[in-house]
Amino acid sequence: MIKNIRIENYALIESLDVDFHSGFSVITGETGAGKSIILGAIGLLLGQRADSKSIKTNATKCVVEATFDVSSYELASFFDENDLDFDGQSCVIRREVTSAGKSRAFINDTPVQLTMMKEIGEKLIDIHSQHKNLLLGNENFQLNVLDIFAQNADVLNDYKSKYKDYKDICEKYDEAVSQYEKISHDEDYLRFLYNELSDANLSPDEQNELEKESETLSHSEDIKQALGTASSLLSDGGESSDSLQLIRQCLQSLQSITSVYDDVAPLCERLDTCYIELKDISDEIVSLDERVEYNPTRLEWVNERLNVIYSLQKKHHVQTVDELLKLRDSLDEKLSLIDNNDEIIEELRKKMDDSYAECRKVADKLSERRVQASAHLEGKMVDLLFPLGMPNVRFKVDVNAGESFSADDNVRLTPTGYDTVNFLFSANKNSALQSVSQVASGGEIARVMLSMKAMIAGIVKLPTIIFDEIDTGVSGSIAEKMAKMMREMGDSDRQVISITHLPQIAAMGAHHYKVYKEDNEDSTVSHIVELTNDQRVEEVAHMLSGEVLTEAALENAKSLLKS
Protein backbone atom coordinates (compact mmCIF):
# COMPACT_ATOMS: atom_id res chain seq x y z
CA MET A 1 0.00 0.00 0.00
CA ILE A 2 1.06 3.61 -0.53
CA LYS A 3 3.04 5.02 2.40
CA ASN A 4 4.17 8.27 0.84
CA ILE A 5 3.85 10.21 -2.41
CA ARG A 6 6.21 12.98 -3.45
CA ILE A 7 5.41 15.13 -6.50
CA GLU A 8 7.50 17.98 -7.88
CA ASN A 9 6.69 20.36 -10.75
CA TYR A 10 3.70 18.46 -12.13
CA ALA A 11 0.90 20.62 -13.60
CA LEU A 12 -0.28 22.92 -10.76
CA ILE A 13 1.77 21.08 -8.15
CA GLU A 14 5.03 22.77 -7.27
CA SER A 15 6.04 20.50 -4.39
CA LEU A 16 3.93 17.93 -2.60
CA ASP A 17 4.94 15.37 0.01
CA VAL A 18 2.15 13.46 1.74
CA ASP A 19 1.90 10.29 3.82
CA PHE A 20 -1.00 7.84 3.48
CA HIS A 21 -2.41 5.22 5.82
CA SER A 22 -3.93 1.77 5.58
CA GLY A 23 -7.68 1.36 5.79
CA PHE A 24 -10.26 3.72 4.28
CA SER A 25 -9.24 7.28 3.41
CA VAL A 26 -11.11 10.02 1.58
CA ILE A 27 -9.94 12.94 -0.54
CA THR A 28 -12.16 15.98 -1.01
CA GLY A 29 -11.79 19.40 -2.59
CA GLU A 30 -13.48 21.83 -4.92
CA THR A 31 -13.79 20.99 -8.61
CA GLY A 32 -10.57 22.05 -10.30
CA ALA A 33 -8.57 22.07 -7.09
CA GLY A 34 -6.20 19.39 -8.38
CA LYS A 35 -7.60 15.99 -7.40
CA SER A 36 -7.38 14.73 -10.99
CA ILE A 37 -3.84 16.14 -11.20
CA ILE A 38 -2.76 13.92 -8.31
CA LEU A 39 -4.35 10.92 -10.03
CA GLY A 40 -2.52 11.84 -13.24
CA ALA A 41 0.77 11.88 -11.35
CA ILE A 42 0.01 8.45 -9.87
CA GLY A 43 -0.80 7.31 -13.41
CA LEU A 44 2.79 8.11 -14.40
CA LEU A 45 3.91 5.57 -11.78
CA LEU A 46 1.67 3.00 -13.48
CA GLY A 47 3.53 3.44 -16.76
CA GLN A 48 1.06 5.76 -18.46
CA ARG A 49 2.26 7.98 -21.28
CA ALA A 50 4.19 11.07 -20.16
CA ASP A 51 3.45 14.47 -21.68
CA SER A 52 6.05 17.22 -21.35
CA LYS A 53 3.16 19.74 -21.34
CA SER A 54 2.23 18.47 -17.87
CA ILE A 55 5.49 19.83 -16.44
CA LYS A 56 4.96 22.98 -14.42
CA THR A 57 5.73 26.20 -16.29
CA ASN A 58 9.42 27.24 -16.14
CA ALA A 59 10.46 23.85 -14.67
CA THR A 60 12.92 21.60 -16.49
CA LYS A 61 11.81 18.32 -14.94
CA CYS A 62 8.95 16.82 -12.98
CA VAL A 63 9.39 13.96 -10.51
CA VAL A 64 6.75 11.60 -9.11
CA GLU A 65 7.88 9.13 -6.44
CA ALA A 66 5.89 6.77 -4.25
CA THR A 67 6.97 4.50 -1.42
CA PHE A 68 4.94 1.31 -0.96
CA ASP A 69 4.70 -1.10 1.93
CA VAL A 70 4.72 -4.52 0.22
CA SER A 71 5.61 -6.71 3.21
CA SER A 72 2.30 -8.63 3.06
CA TYR A 73 1.98 -9.19 -0.68
CA GLU A 74 4.45 -11.91 -1.74
CA LEU A 75 6.23 -9.90 -4.45
CA ALA A 76 9.73 -11.30 -3.88
CA SER A 77 9.57 -13.42 -7.05
CA PHE A 78 8.95 -10.32 -9.18
CA PHE A 79 12.08 -8.63 -7.85
CA ASP A 80 14.17 -11.82 -8.18
CA GLU A 81 13.08 -12.46 -11.78
CA ASN A 82 13.90 -8.88 -12.78
CA ASP A 83 17.14 -8.66 -10.77
CA LEU A 84 15.91 -5.75 -8.64
CA ASP A 85 16.99 -4.85 -5.10
CA PHE A 86 14.36 -5.80 -2.53
CA ASP A 87 14.42 -5.72 1.26
CA GLY A 88 11.12 -7.58 1.68
CA GLN A 89 9.42 -4.56 3.23
CA SER A 90 9.18 -1.57 0.92
CA CYS A 91 9.37 -0.60 -2.74
CA VAL A 92 10.11 2.85 -4.18
CA ILE A 93 8.87 3.69 -7.68
CA ARG A 94 9.98 6.91 -9.36
CA ARG A 95 9.20 8.53 -12.71
CA GLU A 96 11.04 11.53 -14.12
CA VAL A 97 9.90 13.52 -17.16
CA THR A 98 11.94 16.35 -18.68
CA SER A 99 10.68 19.38 -20.57
CA ALA A 100 12.38 17.90 -23.65
CA GLY A 101 9.96 14.97 -23.51
CA LYS A 102 12.40 12.37 -22.17
CA SER A 103 11.13 9.98 -19.54
CA ARG A 104 12.94 7.72 -17.08
CA ALA A 105 11.54 5.09 -14.73
CA PHE A 106 13.10 3.59 -11.60
CA ILE A 107 12.22 0.77 -9.20
CA ASN A 108 14.28 0.89 -6.01
CA ASP A 109 16.68 3.29 -7.76
CA THR A 110 17.28 0.82 -10.62
CA PRO A 111 16.45 2.14 -14.13
CA VAL A 112 13.73 0.01 -15.73
CA GLN A 113 11.59 -0.09 -18.88
CA LEU A 114 8.02 1.25 -18.71
CA THR A 115 6.68 -2.25 -19.35
CA MET A 116 8.22 -3.38 -16.05
CA MET A 117 6.81 -0.32 -14.26
CA LYS A 118 3.36 -1.18 -15.65
CA GLU A 119 3.75 -4.78 -14.51
CA ILE A 120 4.50 -3.91 -10.91
CA GLY A 121 1.98 -1.06 -10.96
CA GLU A 122 -0.79 -3.54 -11.77
CA LYS A 123 0.23 -5.51 -8.67
CA LEU A 124 0.14 -2.44 -6.39
CA ILE A 125 -2.66 -0.05 -7.41
CA ASP A 126 -6.08 -0.27 -9.00
CA ILE A 127 -7.59 3.09 -9.99
CA HIS A 128 -11.31 3.03 -10.70
CA SER A 129 -12.39 6.23 -12.41
CA GLN A 130 -15.83 7.22 -13.70
CA HIS A 131 -15.13 6.22 -17.30
CA LYS A 132 -14.40 2.65 -16.17
CA ASN A 133 -18.11 2.26 -15.44
CA LEU A 134 -18.45 1.96 -19.22
CA LEU A 135 -16.57 -1.35 -19.00
CA LEU A 136 -19.68 -2.90 -17.46
CA GLY A 137 -21.12 -3.29 -20.95
CA ASN A 138 -17.99 -4.95 -22.30
CA GLU A 139 -18.22 -8.74 -22.71
CA ASN A 140 -14.49 -9.20 -22.15
CA PHE A 141 -14.68 -7.27 -18.88
CA GLN A 142 -17.63 -9.34 -17.71
CA LEU A 143 -15.85 -12.57 -18.63
CA ASN A 144 -12.74 -11.39 -16.77
CA VAL A 145 -14.82 -10.68 -13.64
CA LEU A 146 -16.32 -14.17 -13.80
CA ASP A 147 -12.87 -15.76 -14.27
CA ILE A 148 -11.47 -13.84 -11.31
CA PHE A 149 -14.43 -14.91 -9.17
CA ALA A 150 -14.03 -18.52 -10.31
CA GLN A 151 -10.26 -18.30 -9.65
CA ASN A 152 -9.54 -19.59 -13.14
CA ALA A 153 -6.05 -18.09 -13.47
CA ASP A 154 -4.15 -21.41 -13.65
CA VAL A 155 -6.64 -23.07 -15.99
CA LEU A 156 -6.77 -19.95 -18.16
CA ASN A 157 -2.97 -19.82 -18.44
CA ASP A 158 -2.93 -23.49 -19.45
CA TYR A 159 -5.62 -22.81 -22.04
CA LYS A 160 -3.80 -19.77 -23.47
CA SER A 161 -0.65 -21.85 -23.95
CA LYS A 162 -2.53 -24.59 -25.78
CA TYR A 163 -4.52 -22.03 -27.77
CA LYS A 164 -1.28 -20.45 -29.01
CA ASP A 165 -0.03 -23.87 -30.16
CA TYR A 166 -3.37 -24.49 -31.87
CA LYS A 167 -3.30 -21.14 -33.71
CA ASP A 168 0.29 -21.78 -34.84
CA ILE A 169 -0.74 -25.12 -36.37
CA CYS A 170 -3.79 -23.50 -37.99
CA GLU A 171 -1.55 -20.84 -39.51
CA LYS A 172 0.80 -23.46 -40.95
CA TYR A 173 -2.14 -25.43 -42.33
CA ASP A 174 -3.71 -22.36 -43.95
CA GLU A 175 -0.34 -21.35 -45.36
CA ALA A 176 0.19 -24.81 -46.89
CA VAL A 177 -3.29 -24.83 -48.45
CA SER A 178 -2.88 -21.29 -49.74
CA GLN A 179 0.55 -22.01 -51.16
CA TYR A 180 -0.70 -25.16 -52.86
CA GLU A 181 -3.64 -23.32 -54.42
CA LYS A 182 -1.33 -20.61 -55.64
CA ILE A 183 1.35 -22.81 -57.17
CA SER A 184 -0.93 -25.55 -58.51
CA HIS A 185 -2.30 -23.10 -61.10
CA ASP A 186 1.26 -22.61 -62.42
CA GLU A 187 2.36 -26.23 -62.16
CA ASP A 188 3.19 -26.70 -65.87
CA TYR A 189 5.22 -23.50 -66.03
CA LEU A 190 7.03 -24.27 -62.76
CA ARG A 191 7.84 -27.75 -63.97
CA PHE A 192 9.21 -26.32 -67.26
CA LEU A 193 11.44 -23.87 -65.37
CA TYR A 194 12.67 -26.59 -63.03
CA ASN A 195 13.47 -28.99 -65.91
CA GLU A 196 15.30 -26.23 -67.76
CA LEU A 197 17.50 -25.50 -64.74
CA SER A 198 17.93 -29.16 -63.85
CA ASP A 199 18.89 -30.12 -67.42
CA ALA A 200 21.50 -27.36 -67.42
CA ASN A 201 23.36 -29.44 -64.81
CA LEU A 202 24.99 -26.41 -63.24
CA SER A 203 27.79 -26.53 -60.66
CA PRO A 204 28.69 -23.71 -58.22
CA ASP A 205 32.18 -22.77 -59.56
CA GLU A 206 31.51 -23.59 -63.19
CA GLN A 207 30.99 -20.04 -64.47
CA ASN A 208 34.30 -18.69 -63.16
CA GLU A 209 36.25 -21.66 -64.49
CA LEU A 210 34.63 -21.46 -67.93
CA GLU A 211 35.20 -17.72 -68.22
CA LYS A 212 38.91 -18.22 -67.42
CA GLU A 213 39.18 -21.08 -69.93
CA SER A 214 37.43 -19.05 -72.62
CA GLU A 215 39.85 -16.18 -72.07
CA THR A 216 42.83 -18.55 -72.35
CA LEU A 217 41.55 -20.38 -75.45
CA SER A 218 40.68 -17.09 -77.18
CA HIS A 219 44.30 -15.89 -76.80
CA SER A 220 46.11 -19.24 -77.04
CA GLU A 221 48.32 -18.18 -80.00
CA ASP A 222 49.48 -14.99 -78.22
CA ILE A 223 50.11 -16.94 -75.02
CA LYS A 224 52.19 -19.66 -76.75
CA GLN A 225 54.22 -17.07 -78.63
CA ALA A 226 55.04 -15.16 -75.44
CA LEU A 227 55.93 -18.34 -73.54
CA GLY A 228 58.15 -19.56 -76.41
CA THR A 229 60.04 -16.28 -76.58
CA ALA A 230 60.67 -16.30 -72.85
CA SER A 231 61.81 -19.91 -72.91
CA SER A 232 64.14 -19.22 -75.83
CA LEU A 233 65.75 -16.25 -74.12
CA LEU A 234 66.42 -18.29 -71.03
CA SER A 235 67.77 -21.58 -72.39
CA ASP A 236 67.11 -22.30 -76.08
CA GLY A 237 69.47 -19.85 -77.83
CA GLY A 238 72.66 -21.88 -78.03
CA GLU A 239 75.81 -21.71 -76.02
CA SER A 240 76.55 -18.05 -76.77
CA SER A 241 73.10 -16.75 -75.77
CA ASP A 242 71.91 -19.28 -73.21
CA SER A 243 71.24 -17.12 -70.13
CA LEU A 244 71.31 -20.05 -67.74
CA GLN A 245 74.56 -21.32 -69.24
CA LEU A 246 76.19 -17.91 -68.91
CA ILE A 247 75.20 -17.65 -65.25
CA ARG A 248 76.49 -21.16 -64.66
CA GLN A 249 79.86 -20.30 -66.24
CA CYS A 250 80.11 -17.08 -64.19
CA LEU A 251 79.41 -19.07 -61.01
CA GLN A 252 82.11 -21.64 -61.87
CA SER A 253 84.66 -18.89 -62.56
CA LEU A 254 84.12 -17.26 -59.17
CA GLN A 255 84.07 -20.58 -57.33
CA SER A 256 87.57 -21.34 -58.71
CA ILE A 257 89.10 -18.49 -56.67
CA THR A 258 87.19 -18.84 -53.41
CA SER A 259 90.12 -20.74 -51.86
CA VAL A 260 92.49 -17.80 -52.44
CA TYR A 261 90.00 -14.90 -52.29
CA ASP A 262 87.16 -15.61 -49.88
CA ASP A 263 85.48 -12.21 -50.47
CA VAL A 264 83.73 -13.71 -53.53
CA ALA A 265 82.02 -16.47 -51.46
CA PRO A 266 78.84 -14.41 -50.81
CA LEU A 267 78.60 -13.60 -54.51
CA CYS A 268 78.83 -17.29 -55.31
CA GLU A 269 75.92 -18.02 -52.97
CA ARG A 270 73.79 -15.29 -54.56
CA LEU A 271 74.61 -16.45 -58.10
CA ASP A 272 73.79 -20.03 -57.15
CA THR A 273 70.39 -18.92 -55.80
CA CYS A 274 69.68 -16.94 -59.00
CA TYR A 275 70.59 -19.90 -61.12
CA ILE A 276 68.28 -22.26 -59.22
CA GLU A 277 65.38 -19.76 -59.40
CA LEU A 278 65.83 -19.07 -63.12
CA LYS A 279 66.16 -22.80 -63.85
CA ASP A 280 62.84 -23.36 -62.04
CA ILE A 281 61.18 -20.51 -63.96
CA SER A 282 62.45 -21.92 -67.24
CA ASP A 283 60.97 -25.35 -66.45
CA GLU A 284 57.59 -23.82 -65.52
CA ILE A 285 57.50 -21.81 -68.75
CA VAL A 286 58.09 -25.01 -70.72
CA SER A 287 55.35 -26.76 -68.75
CA LEU A 288 52.87 -23.90 -69.36
CA ASP A 289 53.71 -23.85 -73.03
CA GLU A 290 52.96 -27.58 -73.29
CA ARG A 291 49.56 -27.14 -71.55
CA VAL A 292 48.34 -24.31 -73.78
CA GLU A 293 46.86 -25.48 -77.03
CA TYR A 294 44.96 -23.86 -79.83
CA ASN A 295 41.60 -25.71 -79.79
CA PRO A 296 38.76 -23.96 -81.68
CA THR A 297 36.38 -26.86 -80.99
CA ARG A 298 36.85 -26.60 -77.22
CA LEU A 299 36.53 -22.79 -77.38
CA GLU A 300 33.24 -23.11 -79.23
CA TRP A 301 31.87 -25.55 -76.60
CA VAL A 302 32.98 -23.34 -73.69
CA ASN A 303 31.33 -20.26 -75.20
CA GLU A 304 28.12 -22.17 -75.87
CA ARG A 305 28.07 -23.36 -72.26
CA LEU A 306 28.60 -19.83 -71.02
CA ASN A 307 25.78 -18.60 -73.26
CA VAL A 308 23.47 -21.12 -71.57
CA ILE A 309 24.45 -19.80 -68.12
CA TYR A 310 24.15 -16.13 -69.17
CA SER A 311 20.78 -16.77 -70.76
CA LEU A 312 19.43 -18.41 -67.58
CA GLN A 313 20.78 -15.60 -65.41
CA LYS A 314 19.15 -12.96 -67.59
CA LYS A 315 15.87 -14.87 -67.72
CA HIS A 316 15.63 -15.19 -63.94
CA HIS A 317 17.18 -11.79 -63.15
CA VAL A 318 20.09 -13.13 -61.11
CA GLN A 319 23.86 -12.59 -61.21
CA THR A 320 25.41 -15.90 -60.14
CA VAL A 321 25.15 -19.65 -60.65
CA ASP A 322 24.54 -20.03 -56.89
CA GLU A 323 21.35 -18.00 -57.26
CA LEU A 324 20.25 -20.22 -60.14
CA LEU A 325 20.87 -23.30 -58.01
CA LYS A 326 18.82 -21.83 -55.13
CA LEU A 327 16.01 -21.06 -57.57
CA ARG A 328 16.15 -24.63 -58.86
CA ASP A 329 15.92 -25.99 -55.30
CA SER A 330 13.02 -23.66 -54.52
CA LEU A 331 11.15 -24.86 -57.60
CA ASP A 332 11.88 -28.42 -56.55
CA GLU A 333 10.29 -27.76 -53.11
CA LYS A 334 7.20 -26.25 -54.71
CA LEU A 335 6.82 -29.16 -57.08
CA SER A 336 7.36 -31.54 -54.17
CA LEU A 337 4.54 -29.77 -52.34
CA ILE A 338 2.32 -30.27 -55.37
CA ASP A 339 3.32 -33.90 -55.75
CA ASN A 340 3.00 -34.67 -52.03
CA ASN A 341 0.29 -32.16 -51.24
CA ASP A 342 -2.31 -34.62 -50.02
CA GLU A 343 0.08 -36.19 -47.51
CA ILE A 344 1.46 -32.86 -46.26
CA ILE A 345 -1.91 -31.20 -45.80
CA GLU A 346 -3.41 -34.31 -44.25
CA GLU A 347 -0.56 -34.48 -41.74
CA LEU A 348 -1.06 -30.80 -40.86
CA ARG A 349 -4.81 -31.33 -40.61
CA LYS A 350 -4.27 -34.19 -38.15
CA LYS A 351 -1.93 -32.05 -36.05
CA MET A 352 -4.51 -29.27 -36.13
CA ASP A 353 -7.30 -31.61 -35.06
CA ASP A 354 -5.17 -33.05 -32.25
CA SER A 355 -4.22 -29.55 -31.07
CA TYR A 356 -7.86 -28.47 -31.21
CA ALA A 357 -8.86 -31.48 -29.11
CA GLU A 358 -6.29 -30.58 -26.43
CA CYS A 359 -7.38 -26.96 -26.48
CA ARG A 360 -11.07 -27.87 -26.41
CA LYS A 361 -10.52 -30.11 -23.41
CA VAL A 362 -9.19 -27.20 -21.35
CA ALA A 363 -11.85 -24.86 -22.79
CA ASP A 364 -14.54 -27.30 -21.62
CA LYS A 365 -13.02 -27.25 -18.15
CA LEU A 366 -13.01 -23.44 -18.21
CA SER A 367 -16.63 -23.34 -19.32
CA GLU A 368 -17.68 -25.81 -16.64
CA ARG A 369 -15.97 -23.77 -13.94
CA ARG A 370 -17.57 -20.59 -15.25
CA VAL A 371 -21.05 -22.09 -15.22
CA GLN A 372 -20.53 -23.38 -11.68
CA ALA A 373 -19.17 -20.02 -10.48
CA SER A 374 -21.90 -17.99 -12.17
CA ALA A 375 -24.58 -19.09 -9.68
CA HIS A 376 -22.35 -18.17 -6.74
CA LEU A 377 -21.49 -14.83 -8.34
CA GLU A 378 -25.20 -14.06 -8.83
CA GLY A 379 -25.91 -14.68 -5.15
CA LYS A 380 -22.89 -12.67 -4.04
CA MET A 381 -23.87 -9.68 -6.18
CA VAL A 382 -27.45 -9.72 -4.87
CA ASP A 383 -26.13 -9.84 -1.29
CA LEU A 384 -23.91 -6.84 -1.96
CA LEU A 385 -26.48 -4.79 -3.91
CA PHE A 386 -29.43 -5.44 -1.59
CA PRO A 387 -28.23 -3.11 1.20
CA LEU A 388 -27.32 -0.43 -1.38
CA GLY A 389 -30.96 0.54 -1.85
CA MET A 390 -31.95 -2.28 -4.21
CA PRO A 391 -34.41 -4.48 -2.26
CA ASN A 392 -35.83 -6.03 -5.46
CA VAL A 393 -32.58 -6.47 -7.32
CA ARG A 394 -32.03 -9.46 -9.57
CA PHE A 395 -28.69 -10.30 -11.11
CA LYS A 396 -27.97 -13.12 -13.54
CA VAL A 397 -24.79 -14.27 -15.26
CA ASP A 398 -25.66 -15.62 -18.69
CA VAL A 399 -22.88 -17.95 -19.92
CA ASN A 400 -23.22 -19.02 -23.56
CA ALA A 401 -21.02 -21.38 -25.56
CA GLY A 402 -19.72 -20.16 -28.90
CA GLU A 403 -21.28 -21.14 -32.20
CA SER A 404 -20.49 -24.55 -33.72
CA PHE A 405 -18.76 -24.60 -37.08
CA SER A 406 -18.89 -28.32 -37.91
CA ALA A 407 -21.12 -31.35 -37.59
CA ASP A 408 -18.78 -32.65 -34.87
CA ASP A 409 -19.95 -29.93 -32.45
CA ASN A 410 -16.67 -28.09 -32.80
CA VAL A 411 -17.03 -24.59 -31.41
CA ARG A 412 -14.99 -21.61 -32.50
CA LEU A 413 -12.23 -21.03 -29.97
CA THR A 414 -11.06 -17.59 -28.88
CA PRO A 415 -8.09 -16.48 -26.75
CA THR A 416 -10.29 -16.89 -23.64
CA GLY A 417 -12.13 -20.11 -24.50
CA TYR A 418 -15.46 -20.31 -26.29
CA ASP A 419 -17.82 -18.72 -23.75
CA THR A 420 -19.51 -15.36 -24.01
CA VAL A 421 -20.79 -13.75 -20.82
CA ASN A 422 -23.59 -11.26 -20.34
CA PHE A 423 -24.53 -9.72 -17.00
CA LEU A 424 -28.32 -9.35 -16.77
CA PHE A 425 -29.83 -6.95 -14.27
CA SER A 426 -33.12 -5.67 -12.94
CA ALA A 427 -33.67 -3.34 -9.98
CA ASN A 428 -37.46 -3.56 -10.02
CA LYS A 429 -40.06 -6.30 -9.54
CA ASN A 430 -41.91 -5.65 -12.77
CA SER A 431 -38.86 -5.28 -15.04
CA ALA A 432 -37.46 -8.08 -17.16
CA LEU A 433 -33.80 -8.97 -16.86
CA GLN A 434 -31.71 -7.09 -19.44
CA SER A 435 -28.07 -6.37 -20.08
CA VAL A 436 -26.86 -4.30 -17.17
CA SER A 437 -25.33 -1.57 -19.36
CA GLN A 438 -28.65 -1.08 -21.18
CA VAL A 439 -31.08 -0.97 -18.27
CA ALA A 440 -29.17 0.32 -15.23
CA SER A 441 -29.11 4.03 -14.39
CA GLY A 442 -25.89 5.91 -13.66
CA GLY A 443 -26.33 5.51 -9.92
CA GLU A 444 -27.18 1.82 -10.28
CA ILE A 445 -24.11 1.20 -12.46
CA ALA A 446 -21.94 2.92 -9.83
CA ARG A 447 -23.32 0.59 -7.15
CA VAL A 448 -22.92 -2.48 -9.37
CA MET A 449 -19.28 -1.58 -10.12
CA LEU A 450 -18.52 -0.92 -6.45
CA SER A 451 -20.06 -4.27 -5.51
CA MET A 452 -17.94 -6.02 -8.16
CA LYS A 453 -14.80 -4.29 -6.89
CA ALA A 454 -15.65 -5.32 -3.33
CA MET A 455 -16.24 -8.89 -4.46
CA ILE A 456 -13.04 -9.07 -6.52
CA ALA A 457 -10.98 -7.39 -3.81
CA GLY A 458 -11.59 -10.37 -1.58
CA ILE A 459 -10.00 -12.63 -4.19
CA VAL A 460 -7.28 -10.49 -5.80
CA LYS A 461 -5.13 -9.08 -3.01
CA LEU A 462 -4.44 -5.64 -4.42
CA PRO A 463 -2.69 -3.47 -1.81
CA THR A 464 -4.34 -0.21 -2.90
CA ILE A 465 -7.68 0.61 -4.55
CA ILE A 466 -8.49 4.19 -5.51
CA PHE A 467 -12.10 5.14 -6.35
CA ASP A 468 -12.39 8.36 -8.32
CA GLU A 469 -15.93 9.67 -7.70
CA ILE A 470 -17.54 6.24 -7.95
CA ASP A 471 -20.44 7.79 -6.03
CA THR A 472 -21.62 9.74 -9.09
CA GLY A 473 -25.40 9.52 -9.36
CA VAL A 474 -26.06 8.54 -5.74
CA SER A 475 -26.61 10.51 -2.55
CA GLY A 476 -28.01 10.34 0.95
CA SER A 477 -28.31 6.99 2.65
CA ILE A 478 -27.11 5.10 -0.45
CA ALA A 479 -23.85 7.06 -0.41
CA GLU A 480 -23.45 6.21 3.25
CA LYS A 481 -23.93 2.52 2.52
CA MET A 482 -21.41 2.67 -0.32
CA ALA A 483 -18.97 4.31 2.07
CA LYS A 484 -19.48 1.50 4.58
CA MET A 485 -18.71 -1.02 1.84
CA MET A 486 -15.49 0.80 0.96
CA ARG A 487 -14.56 1.02 4.63
CA GLU A 488 -15.10 -2.72 5.01
CA MET A 489 -12.82 -3.28 2.01
CA GLY A 490 -10.17 -1.25 3.80
CA ASP A 491 -10.47 -3.32 6.97
CA SER A 492 -8.84 -6.36 5.32
CA ASP A 493 -5.19 -5.27 5.33
CA ARG A 494 -5.92 -3.10 2.31
CA GLN A 495 -5.74 0.59 1.47
CA VAL A 496 -8.89 2.09 -0.03
CA ILE A 497 -8.94 5.74 -1.09
CA SER A 498 -12.10 7.45 -2.31
CA ILE A 499 -12.13 10.81 -4.10
CA THR A 500 -15.59 12.19 -3.38
CA HIS A 501 -17.88 15.22 -3.32
CA LEU A 502 -20.38 13.61 -0.94
CA PRO A 503 -20.29 14.43 2.79
CA GLN A 504 -21.75 11.01 3.71
CA ILE A 505 -18.68 9.31 2.17
CA ALA A 506 -16.21 11.92 3.39
CA ALA A 507 -17.39 11.46 6.98
CA MET A 508 -16.85 7.70 6.81
CA GLY A 509 -13.10 7.81 6.13
CA ALA A 510 -10.62 6.91 8.83
CA HIS A 511 -8.36 9.58 7.32
CA HIS A 512 -9.40 12.69 5.43
CA TYR A 513 -7.30 14.65 2.93
CA LYS A 514 -8.21 17.95 1.34
CA VAL A 515 -6.96 19.19 -2.03
CA TYR A 516 -6.99 22.94 -2.50
CA LYS A 517 -5.25 25.52 -4.62
CA GLU A 518 -3.96 28.98 -3.85
CA ASP A 519 -2.69 31.86 -5.92
CA ASN A 520 0.71 33.45 -5.40
CA GLU A 521 2.30 36.34 -7.27
CA ASP A 522 2.89 34.56 -10.57
CA SER A 523 1.07 31.19 -10.51
CA THR A 524 -1.62 28.97 -9.06
CA VAL A 525 -0.45 26.04 -6.93
CA SER A 526 -2.29 22.91 -5.73
CA HIS A 527 -1.76 21.42 -2.27
CA ILE A 528 -3.02 18.42 -0.33
CA VAL A 529 -3.12 18.15 3.47
CA GLU A 530 -4.41 15.61 5.95
CA LEU A 531 -7.14 17.22 8.06
CA THR A 532 -7.34 17.22 11.85
CA ASN A 533 -10.63 16.32 13.53
CA ASP A 534 -11.67 19.98 13.82
CA GLN A 535 -10.71 20.65 10.21
CA ARG A 536 -12.75 17.63 9.13
CA VAL A 537 -15.82 19.05 10.82
CA GLU A 538 -15.47 22.29 8.87
CA GLU A 539 -14.76 20.52 5.57
CA VAL A 540 -17.79 18.21 5.88
CA ALA A 541 -19.91 21.19 6.94
CA HIS A 542 -18.82 23.10 3.82
CA MET A 543 -19.77 20.04 1.73
CA LEU A 544 -23.22 20.14 3.35
CA SER A 545 -23.97 23.86 3.21
CA GLY A 546 -21.61 25.42 0.69
CA GLU A 547 -19.21 28.30 1.18
CA VAL A 548 -21.04 29.85 4.13
CA LEU A 549 -20.82 27.77 7.30
CA THR A 550 -23.99 27.53 9.34
CA GLU A 551 -24.40 26.25 12.85
CA ALA A 552 -26.80 23.62 11.56
CA ALA A 553 -24.22 22.43 9.02
CA LEU A 554 -21.54 22.21 11.70
CA GLU A 555 -23.82 20.18 13.97
CA ASN A 556 -24.82 17.94 11.06
CA ALA A 557 -21.14 17.44 10.19
CA LYS A 558 -20.30 16.51 13.77
CA SER A 559 -23.20 14.05 13.76
CA LEU A 560 -22.03 12.45 10.51
CA LEU A 561 -18.46 12.10 11.76
CA LYS A 562 -19.58 10.75 15.11
CA SER A 563 -21.85 8.14 13.55
- Is the pLDDT at 166 greater than 90? The verdict is yes
**pTM exceeds 0.95 for this model:** no
Position 345, amino acid: I
Share of the chain above pLDDT 70, in %: 96
pLDDT tens readout for residues 274-291: 888 888 888 888 888 777
Residue 238 banded pLDDT, cuts 50, 70, 90: very low
**pLDDT recorded at residue 132:** 63
Beta-ladder partners of 111: 106
**pLDDT (0 to 100) of residue 354:** 94
Provide the pLDDT confidence category of residue 131 given band limits of 50, 70 and 90: low
Number of Cβ atoms within 10 Å of the Cβ of 151: 13
- pLDDT for the residue numbered 416: 92
Higher pLDDT, 497 or 458: 497
Q: What angle do CA 490, 492, 497 make, to 5 degrees?
A: 20
Please give the pLDDT value at position 256.
86
pLDDT of 17 > 80? The answer is: yes
Interatomic CA distance for residues 309 and 328, integer angstroms: 13
| Residue 365: Cβ-neighbour burial (10 angstroms; 0-12, 13-18, 19+) | middle
* Residues forming beta bridges with residue 104, ordered by sequence position: 96
What mean pLDDT, rounded, does the chain reach? Answer: 87
| Least confident span in 196-210, 243-257, 393-407 | 393-407
pLDDT of residue 289: 79
CB 425 within 8 A of CB 439: yes
Strands (DSSP E) contained in 70-160 are 90-98, 103-107, 110-112, 125-128
Q: Convert the pLDDT of each residue in 292-351 to its tens digit.
A: 777 888 888 988 999 999 999 999 999 999 999 999 999 998 888 777 777 888 889 999
- Residue 403 confidence (pLDDT): 67
Read off the pLDDT of each residue in 458-467 and give the average, rounded to a whole number: 82
Please say if the pLDDT value at position 179 is more than 80. no
Give mean pLDDT, residues 169-185: 83
